Structure 1
């Protein structure tokens, strides 16, 4: 007998940045939401602009995360280090025979496991923020990496550093915001909770097609002057009701 699908508990959108549009460069962000026996997953990736095939790397990271979590038990969450190693292995297999160093990408993910816990993970820049009751806390508080180069999958000579947190019993109304630098760099720490509230209240109740259209329009009309980056964000919540 097939397992009953998990109700959708996420939404998101991704747009190409103005600079990429002017120069006819493909969007280097990617994201994916999916569900299965394990629960639900949202993953966001941002290919490094200095790499020639970073778009492929970001797309492959989303597929790899999905492949990795499909093997999770419906009753017991995996050890985070084992899951992250599986994601990287799947990512490299997705890209073969390309050199992973040409496809480097950051990764942010949120797994709401059917057992009730939530696993958050991040490699490199971007934002994973989580909380409830109008409050949101960053998973990674400071920029990772050295100098101008962030940490990422596929960097030659070093393993990616995963920041993570396992929350075995998140509170009711728990929400996770995942966003690439084009969004995250313009969000002040004290405004994260209000921004998550805005997304949940303005977009959560809408029918999916209208919600996606309006969210894309908001990202394209991003209010920060001189914004150039691709912009991707997603909101993920537990099955205990709508985000609020």
Structure 2
């Protein structure tokens, strides 16, 4: 590997600023000995402690992943029950119906395997050398858009993917629905591809993060009510 570029930021939406509410989105970017973890979570605004839930999602994915790796698991489905258990412990003493949140994660192992997971709304875009695709489109499962980690009906509510990308370039973009759902539908892939291009032109993580922050902060005022969070990743 000669290049690994990551850019990320989160911006509070206008409605939360006006109401003096916290940013209910959370994110995590973590370099581990065995790979790189990216997590984005959108706390459900109708829940009293949504920000607690979204922060707990990020911590719980990280803790669950380390246990999953220590036990030499290769099936990403085995990560999900661990994640839910960790989350329920992490939000204590709050009730789970006060802490609803979505979960989008990507893990790129040092061996070149990519593991993707999504519960709830938002989007994960990826390109493994064959063009830009989205893990789950809005029309795929409308009911899943309102499902959070607090109220899943079964583990089948998760959308999961594993790709062996050892000898392929890897591009990933995780975003909450404050970004994905305010983009013109037929322009979403072009937006993601432009983000990847612009980030690859920056010299270091500070410049990359500043770029993502400016993009999110200068969002169209008509579409700026919700919190906005984005992580862009490229490895080649």
Specify the TM-score bucket, using the shorter chain as the normaliser.
0.7 to 0.9
Q: Could you say which structure has the higher helix fraction?
A: 2
1:39 touches 1:74 (CA, 8 Å); kept in 2? no
Matched, 1:219 2:193: no
* CA–CA separation in structure 1 for the residues paired with 2:207 and 2:5: 17
How far residue 202 of structure 1 moved from its aligned partner, in angstroms, is 1.4
Q: Alignment partner for residue 227 of structure 2, among 222, 227, 230? A: 230
* CA–CA separation in structure 1 for the residues paired with 2:221 and 2:70: 42
Aligned counterpart, 1:115: 111
Aligned counterpart, 1:63: 59
How far residue 74 of structure 1 moved from its aligned partner, in angstroms, is 7.7
CA gap of 1:170–1:77, structure 2 versus 1, over 3 A, is: farther
Aligned residues: 231
CA gap of 1:182–1:58, structure 2 versus 1, over 3 A, is: same
Aligned counterpart, 1:152: 148
Which SS does the other structure have where 1:58 is aligned? helix
Q: TM-score, normalising length from structure 2?
A: 0.88
* CA–CA separation in structure 2 for the residues paired with 1:76 and 1:112: 15
2:119 touches 2:149 (CA, 8 Å); kept in 1? yes
Gapped runs of 5+ residues in structure 2?
A: none
**14-23 or 29-38, which deviates more:** 29-38
* CA–CA separation in structure 1 for the residues paired with 2:169 and 2:183: 21
CA gap of 1:44–1:58, structure 2 versus 1, over 3 A, is: same
Question: CA RMSD for the aligned pairs?
Answer: 2.4
Aligned counterpart, 1:37: 33
- The list of structure 1 runs, each at least 4 consecutive aligned residues, that deviate by more than 6 angstroms after superposition, is none
Q: TM-score, normalising length from structure 1?
A: 0.85
